[in-house]
Amino acid sequence: DAMVIQNPRYQVTQFGKPVTLSCSQTLNHNVMYWYQQKSSQAPKLLFHYYDKDFNNEADTPDNFQSRRPNTSFCFLDIRSPGLGDAAMYLCATSSVLRASGRKETQYFGPGTRLLVL
């Protein structure tokens, strides 16, 4: 089945120790998103890639970076995690209608829960 996969599902890191979260997809979608979701809140978009074009949200801290080496994979790097970065991180993908540029339905991965000690 075509899907969005995130690894690891749970990640424990130490304060200030860099961590990388992984997302892969078999849907061949050209857009990949990273969201941060804290307890009892809605998902918050951090950034997205449209093909190789990186689009950062204005309020995403510099501590968060992303890489997309190919269509299938996208990584979220947290350079110096703080206690406030503990959250669920959700990856999603969508296709885009080339004619209109309209983004289609997003498909979410299972998420990675990050704990910062």
CB of 40 to other proteins, least distance (A): 8
Radius of gyration of the chain (CA): 14
Give the nearer residue to other proteins in terms of CB position, either 17 or 102.
102
Shortest Å, Cβ 42 to other proteins:
4
State the minimum distance, in angstroms, from the CB of residue 45 to other proteins: 6
Look-up: residue for tokens 């406030």?
A: 84
Q: State the amino acid at position 38 in one-letter form.
A: K
Strand 87-94 to strand 107-108: parallel, antiparallel, or no bridges (unpaired)?
antiparallel
Cβ neighbours for 25, distance < 8 A, ≥ 6 positions apart: 2, 3, 4, 5, 32, 72, 93, 107, 109
Closest by Cα among 21, 22, 48 to 34:
48
Q: Which is nearer to other proteins, 73 or 108 (CB)?
A: 108
Q: Which spans of this chain sit near other proteins (rule: CB under 8 A)?
A: 33, 40-43, 45, 48, 55, 88, 90, 101-103, 105-111, 113
Whole-number minimum distance, CB 34 to other proteins, in Å?
12
Q: Which is nearer to other proteins, 27 or 88 (CB)?
A: 88
